[in-house]
Amino acid sequence: MPVSVSASRRDEQRSWPRRLWAAREAGLFGAATVLLLAGVAAAVAGAGQWASALWVAATVLGLVYSTVTIAVALRHRRPSVDVIAWLALVGALLVGEPLAGAVIAVMLFTGGMLEARASARARRELSRLAAGAPRTARRAGPDGVAVIPVDQVAAGDRLVVSSGEIVPVDGRLLDGGVFDESALSGEAVPVERRAGQDVRSGVVNAGSAAWMLATETAARSTYAGVVRLVEQAQAASAPFVRIADRFALAFVPFTLLAAGLAWALSGQPVRAVAVLVVATPCPLLLAAPIAIMSGLSRAARYGVIIKGGAALERLAAGRVLLFDKTGTLTRGRPVLSDVVTAPGVPAGDVLRLAASLDQASAHVVAATVVTAARDRGLGLAPASEVRERHGYGIEGVVDGRKVRLGKAGWVVDGPVPGWVRRARRRAALDGSLTVFVSVDASPAAVLLLTDPLRPDAPRMMRALRHAGIARTVLLTGDRADIAETVGRIVGVDAVYADRDPADKLAVVRDEQEHAPTIMVGDGVNDAPALAAAGVGVALAARGVTASAEAADVVLTGDRVDGLADAILIARRSHRIARRAAGVGMALSLAAMVPAAAGLLSPTAGAILQEVIDIAAISLALTVLLPGRTHTVTLSAADLATAQRLYAQHAAVRPLVEQVRAVADGLSVLEPDLAPVRGLLDRLETDLLEHERAEEAQLLPIVARALGGPDPIGALSRTHAEIEHQVRRLRRAVRDVGDPAEPEEVTDLRGGLYGLYAILHLHNAQEEENAFSLMPAAAAVPAHDDAPKGFSAPGA
């Protein structure tokens, strides 16, 4: 993306003071180390006075540094164990142990430098999300394509994004493309997006030039929101209060008492100094915040922004998990589940006309209809005379036919046909959204849209329980029957339905009284509950809303199981932080005994303390090493195979729905078995061929990824049952008499409904246990890979 020279120069000028300030810790460490080593060289050469002078200089440098840190702590009215280091440095000078003072100074600066580097690493991982913000966009106008500032982009503008450029604003693709979304999601797999799909600002075009329709301004787009989140996270993590300060009120008096007793009982002040030296815990207890900041860094790699160390600690402590339903446990955007048509009207024809008209709309439902048509391989035509009425629908002309989509009262005039009433009843039972379609002023179809469950949600819930979450609660404004169904599928402990924002807030506060809570949501109405919970977690995959601003943790990828990774990382970081601090404190306390007994000189004690400090900080840095996570990484070959099979899986979904449609249309009075025979032909060629390919190629991938004694047993058994039921139906059709008896038709219809139920359950199991292992970016179906002979139902 082109960047103005002046803007680039301003950024460079601003970065110099930051770099100098960030390098101060390394500079102090280098200066103290040089003075220490130079003094050692002088002592070896026999220049004792020079050696002492150099060590005294290093000690004074450390003394000035610790004085400043104590003054800052006093100004912020918090206790600080740096007073022990200050006393040790002063004592080393007073008892004539400048070498011990120089070692203490190096020890101080070592801890400060490691803390600064860990903090910088965490900021770098977070800033990776905000680096390279788009400043310009290429907008198509009457005079061609013009480069404009990104702030001038308006919703509805047609933009072109060239190869290698950053998508400037959120929008909808007008043609397909390949995008690198790693900056937002953390997934390195390039994403293939089709025309009609949404694309977020901040992702990089990794293919050829792509045209898009802007749906948001720059200020309201995903990228701008992520930048705000990063600024919040950095502001929260920069003034990190060291965990050591929590123990300062008790540790400092204890140390002073131990040093005073050693002096009083022995009459040797050098023993008091030795005790103070080995008790100097400033860099040692930096191990805890280093572990916490390393956890922030590691979480950012998984597309999780944790707003500071305090938020990470609360996330690790959470025991009760509350979920909103829409957009969290479900996808949050509708998908086309079925097309119910008037008698004799091909479903494929109606869907093609509806999608052709919806290409001109920016409505979220329009995107669903267009995507569904493209997934089915339907060729869309341009629409003319398009007119959209807000709150009602859209109308226009496609292939010379007048098409209208929208609400029933606007589309269906006069008496409501029986097939429309049946579609409405079915939508009410399934909790589906309905879009009515008329062609040439006649009702033609009802499009049923549902908000499907996220396939990774049940696996994530099991992973969270394994990670230590004791109670899970579904908290939603949706109606009770739908909420109960979702709750049973994902396995929550309690369901609260029909709740408005005030009710959600009351539930969160009630749960918070019993145990630390984590609240997960993605809507504006979730913001109060997110703010009230111990930790608020927001999903910002489709933009940063008020919920993300109010949350403590933000998932930038479109996978809810990133939360399981975040909790595992938080708990591991907190556990290692406590372990590192505990080990260091124990060793320091143990070293105080020989120091008080006169068995350790101040110099030897300082060297021993440096070893202890480095060991504890090294233990803290193990947070950066790979640990247990919920996310499974597939090899490139396995991922390619899974992608291909997922594309086929998506392509046969309409065929599964056609099983129920054929069963619905099978009449006992006047049975027509031709649709049944045609369906069985399709099932034997398309469906069974796909199931056999999954048995041979997909299930071994799942077995390798999940491990365990038998991770694919249920899936394999269902494959066998599907093939058995199809063959059973073929035999039943072959044995039907002429004319068919009512009992024979009833058996056929029952067999079709049974097969539909098995297929529906099997698809859900595959998406949960197999395809949910794929990165979200990779799980994009492409209709070009559909089984041979596939076409839309009714086409």
Just list the catalytic residues.
Answer: 324
Peptide bond into 675 cis (omega under 30): no
**How many whole angstroms separate alpha carbon 679 and alpha carbon 751?**
13
The one-letter amino acid at 639: L
β-bridge mates for residue 538, sequence order: 521, 554
Question: For 625, how many CA atoms within 13 A lie in the half-sphere containing its CB?
Answer: 6
Q: What 3-state class would DSSP assign to 211?
A: strand
Count of CB atoms situated within 10 Å of the CB of 553:
27
Give yes or no for a contact between 83 and 70, defined as CB atoms under 8 angstroms apart.
yes
**How many whole angstroms separate alpha carbon 533 and alpha carbon 512?**
7
Burial classification of residue 471, based on how many CB atoms lie within 10 Å of its CB (0-12 exposed, 13-18 middle, 19 or more buried): middle
**How many whole angstroms separate alpha carbon 167 and alpha carbon 385?**
30
Nearby residues of 477 by Cβ (< 8 Å), 6 or more positions away: 497, 498, 499, 500, 504, 525
Give yes or no for a contact between 228 and 570, defined as CB atoms under 8 angstroms apart.
no
User: Of 547, 123, 545, 573, nearest to 315 (Cα)?
Assistant: 573
533, two tokens = 């919970």
DSSP 644-658: HHHHHHHHTHHHHHH
509, two tokens = 């506060």
**How many whole angstroms separate alpha carbon 141 and alpha carbon 144?**
5
Give yes or no for a contact between 254 and 275, defined as CB atoms under 8 angstroms apart.
no
Going through 565-661 in order, the beta strands assigned E by DSSP cover: none
Phi, psi (deg, nearest 5) at residue 96: 75, 40
How is residue 107 annotated by DSSP?
H
